[in-house]
Amino acid sequence: MRKMIQFIGINSLRLSAIAVLFFLGFILWDIFSKGGSVLSVSFLSDYPRKGMTEGGIFPAIAGTVLVTMVTTLFAIPFGIAAAIYLSEYATDNWVNRLIRAAIRNLAGVPSIIYGLFGVAVFVEGLGLGASVLASGLTLGLLTLPYIITTTEEALKNVPHSWREGALALGATKWESIRTNVLPGAVPGIVTGAILGLSRAAGETAPILFTGVAFYLRYLPSGIHDEFMALPYHLYIMSTQHHAIEVVRPLAYGTALVLLSFVFILNILAFLIRYRYQNKSRI
Amino acid sequence: MQTRQLVDAGARWLFFVAAVLSVLILAGIFGMLLFNGSRAFPAISWVQFFFSSNWNPSAYGEPSYGILSMIVSTFLVTIGAMLIAVPLGVGTAAYLAEVASPRVRLFLKPTIELLAAIPSVAIGFIGIVVVGPFLAKVFGLNNGLTALNGAILLAIMSLPTIITVAEDAIYAVPTSFKEASYALGANKWITLIRVILPAAYSGIIAAVILGMGRAIGETMTVLMATGNATAMPRGFFDPVRTMTATIAIELGEVPYHTTHYYSLFAVGAVLFLISLIVNLIAEQIAARYRYKY
């Protein structure tokens, strides 16, 4: 009897894990099998045509890449600087506890709230208008807590002896960080940054009102222009288009490209972490 | 002072300022929401805002700004999502921590990370093209875009959070607990449900609350897959419109600096406070289990 209950119990745990795998497998299978049929070189390199019922998604890909670059330039330096402070300088006092609490809570702020903040502060307050810059900064804020957390983790994994070695040779604290701590943490920082950016690239809510456009005939010529983006393109192709059933294959194709984009970044991060883990076990 | 020491002191200050920036951003977000949100209130009464379920800001003559049905909708889809995600997530976490072989774990953990990496707009898309139509067929509905659809999708989205945090909590239970249980003749299953899960209780609760926080704040999935009807929902088979979806739909269309515009920031302030409270509760509970053993 006890064996019977144990058998049922353990297998129900196994079943729940299988169910989770099934969800992932199903989503991937559906998008990759149905999106695969529209995928071609011209789908990736063409502009949308005929009211977006034909053609490709090139401007959406370019827009996502561009806005992610702005996010990178903003979030990575600030994120790394804040993480260096928390990992190398911060003692356990109320200011630093407040900083840590703020970062943890920033990570839990809903993405649409970042969108509201972007509208009020970047688009309106600073007068950037709906633009690549306003969207990139908004996504940067969203990514910041993630970059800080992963970078701090990476810095903490650098052995203490590396710091002490530099200090013993007469280096200042900053010199020891620059020459010994940061280089040792690079793989971890890069992994975290890639994962943070892959999230930013897939976000829709923060860019809805800060610069993304339904359809543009030209690529943005600078960071003050509006842009098209992959996640937003998927959103309009599946809910806002006037002929939703007709463009469904194109929506699947867009979903496929978006997922591939995010997964490639994730696999890249995974490989860097994997390679580094095997190397640095001294 | 030497240049080197000046540089050293300068670097320290620079890093400190960057870290303080995160406090300023959080305070700035909250302050901005309160400031803009409060400007809607000469025109709207507080009672109407919180207790009326009639949201119709563009009505000619007498617009109404009640957010009660949005709050109810948000909690309806969130609770539905938790009913699905908690058993599956805790079950998977227990499987990973106590049953799975190292090889299975090595495969499952990155897979779950991959599930977390799927953009919410793609989950919403699946809700429109697969899950919604499937639900419509099974339950004989005219339209599958309902609270139930949103709950299923949000469950999928909050699973990675619940699994990861709950697994950590289960893993952190000292081996001696397990050994003591085995020594008393308990088998693996009894040990798991009578000893390990109770010991990991607070961590599991924290996992569930964090998953809830994720579901409450999710925008694109509910915007795309729940039908967006502003009426008070009567159950899981009704279309709903959450707080997040309302902001997403209307902010793009309203003229700046109108009562309607500011009222969306007020909705944002309510949403921000709810998710802040949820996160703080999760943090408190998680802190308790971290220092227990």
Contacts of B192 in chain A (CB under 8 A): 9
Q: Which of A23, A78, A82 sits opposite B115 (nearest CB)?
A: A23
A27·B124 Cβ contact <8 A: no
Whether the CB of A148 is below 8 Å from some CB of chain B: the reply is yes
> Tell me, what's the pLDDT at A282?
42
Q: Measure the CA–CA gap between A41 and B131, rounded to whole angstroms.
A: 30
Count of CB contacts below 8 A, A vs B? 257
A104·B188 Cβ contact <8 A: no
Q: Which of A27, A108, A205 sits opposite B118 (nearest CB)?
A: A27
> Tell me, what's the pLDDT at A222?
84
B120·A202 Cβ contact <8 A: yes
Q: Which of B15, B114, B256 sits opposite A85 (nearest CB)?
A: B15
Task: Please choose, from the candidates B17, B265, B148, the residue with its C-alpha nearest in 3D space to the C-alpha of residue A121.
Answer: B265
> Tell me, what's the pLDDT at A281?
45
Query: With contact defined as beta carbons under 8 Å apart, do B96 and B109 qualify?
Result: yes
Residues contacting residue B286 through CB under 8 Å, at least 6 positions apart: B165, B202, B203, B206
**Bridge partners, B240 (sequence order):** B227
> Tell me, what's the pLDDT at A221?
85
Which residues of chain A are under the pLDDT cut of 50? Answer: 281-282
Nearest CA in chain B to A210: B252
Q: Which amino acid is at B31?
A: G
Whether the CB of A145 is below 8 Å from some CB of chain B: the reply is yes
> Tell me, what's the pLDDT at A206?
94
Task: Please choose, from the candidates B211, B107, B204, the residue with its C-alpha nearest in 3D space to the C-alpha of residue B159.
Answer: B211
Nearest CA in chain A to B188: A6
Residues contacting residue B279 through CB under 8 Å, at least 6 positions apart: A104, A105, A108, B210, B213
> Tell me, what's the pLDDT at B289?
67
A202·B126 Cβ contact <8 A: no
A110·B121 Cβ contact <8 A: no
Contacts of A86 in chain B (CB under 8 A): 19
> Tell me, what's the pLDDT at A45?
86
Task: Please choose, from the candidates A233, A236, A253, the residue with its C-alpha nearest in 3D space to the C-alpha of residue A34.
Answer: A253
Burial of B3 (0-12, 13-18, 19+ CB in 10 A): exposed
Q: Which of A20, A110, A145 sits opposite B88 (nearest CB)?
A: A20
> Tell me, what's the pLDDT at B256?
87
Contacts of A172 in chain B (CB under 8 A): 4-5, 7-8
Whether the CB of B88 is below 8 Å from some CB of chain A: the reply is yes
Q: How many CA atoms lie within 13 A of B6 on its CB side?
A: 3
The DSSP secondary-structure symbol of B41 reads T
Mark which residues 213-242 of B lie under 8 Å from A by CB.
213, 216-220, 223-224
B251·A90 Cβ contact <8 A: no
Whether the CB of B205 is below 8 Å from some CB of chain A: the reply is no
Contacts of B26 in chain A (CB under 8 A): 102, 105-106, 109
A208·B252 Cβ contact <8 A: yes
The DSSP secondary-structure symbol of A212 reads B
Nearest CA in chain B to A91: B16
A120·B21 Cβ contact <8 A: no
Nearest CA in chain A to B20: A99
Q: Which of A105, A203, A248 sits opposite B276 (nearest CB)?
A: A105
CB atoms under 10 Å from CB of A180, counted, come to: 21
> Tell me, what's the pLDDT at A49?
82
Q: Report how far apart, in Å, the C-alpha atoms of A129 and of each of A20, A102, A123, A209, B264 are.
A: 42, 28, 4, 10, 19
pLDDT digit string (tens) for chain B, length 293 residues:
688 899 999 999 999 999 999 999 999 999 999 999 999 988 888 888 998 888 988 877 788 899 999 999 999 999 999 999 999 999 999 999 999 999 999 899 889 989 999 999 999 999 999 999 999 999 988 888 999 999 999 999 999 999 999 999 999 899 999 999 999 999 999 999 999 999 998 899 999 999 999 999 999 999 999 988 888 888 899 999 999 999 999 998 888 889 999 999 999 999 999 999 999 998 888 877 665 65
Q: Measure the CA–CA gap between B182 and B176, rounded to whole angstroms.
A: 10
B92·A112 Cβ contact <8 A: no
Whether the CB of A5 is below 8 Å from some CB of chain B: the reply is yes
Whether the CB of A11 is below 8 Å from some CB of chain B: the reply is no
Q: Measure the CA–CA gap between A115 and A243, rounded to whole angstroms.
A: 28
Q: Measure the CA–CA gap between B50 and B270, rounded to whole angstroms.
A: 10
Helix-, strand-, coil-residue percentages of chain A, each rounded to 5: 75, 0, 25
Task: Report helix, strand or coil for B56.
Answer: strand
CB atoms under 10 Å from CB of B166, counted, come to: 29
The DSSP secondary-structure symbol of B55 reads E
Contacts of A14 in chain B (CB under 8 A): 95, 99
In order, the DSSP letters of B151-181 are: HHHHHHHHHHHHHHHHHHHHHTS-HHHHHHH
Contacts of A173 in chain B (CB under 8 A): 8, 11-12
> Tell me, what's the pLDDT at B219?
94
Nearest CA in chain B to A248: B129
**H or E element, residue B65:** strand B64-65
Q: Which amino acid is at B112?
A: I
For B165-224, what is each residue's pLDDT tens digit? 999 999 989 999 999 999 999 999 999 999 999 999 889 999 999 999 999 999 999 999
Whether the CB of A94 is below 8 Å from some CB of chain B: the reply is no
For A127-153, what is each residue's pLDDT tens digit? 998 999 999 999 999 999 999 999 999
> Tell me, what's the pLDDT at B293?
59
Q: Measure the CA–CA gap between B135 and B1, rounded to whole angstroms.
A: 73
> Tell me, what's the pLDDT at B291?
58
B244·A270 Cβ contact <8 A: no
Q: Measure the CA–CA gap between B166 and B160, rounded to whole angstroms.
A: 10
Q: Measure the CA–CA gap between A183 and A78, rounded to whole angstroms.
A: 18
Residues contacting residue B262 through CB under 8 Å, at least 6 positions apart: B36, B37, B38, B39, B40
